[in-house]
Amino acid sequence: MIALDLNTRFDNQPGILDHCEALQDAARDSLPPDADPEEIAAALAKLIVADLMKPKRAETARQHFARYWPLVDEMRLAAPASYDHIILEYAERLAEFR
């Protein structure tokens, strides 16, 4: 079991939800129109993980993760493989800062 040090409050603030919607649109735009939900989730996970690799400090990485929490939480049941991928990459990223 992996315990994540989130140290961040997760909110569904309007700005966060707008950002999540924009990211979902970007994921859909990168795929053919007939893409299935798993393909969309995989593309979305790829975009989220790419953004999680940008921060230079753990606190910033936590903020980035919090920004995507509504999407990540939604994937927990809808797309478990994509959810697992994001969580593992995030955990590895935080470990790099220690």
Domain boundaries, the chain: 36-96
> What distances in angstroms separate CA 87 from CA 30, 77, 98, one per listed residue?
22, 14, 17
For residue 89, the 8-state DSSP code is: H
For residues 49 and 86, the answer to whether their CB atoms sit within 8 Å is: yes
> Taking the complete model, does pTM exceed 0.95, yes or no?
no
For residue 97, the 8-state DSSP code is: T
pLDDT in tens, the chain (98 residues): 445 555 545 555 556 667 788 889 899 999 999 999 999 999 999 999 999 999 999 999 999 899 899 899 999 999 999 999 999 999 999 999 88
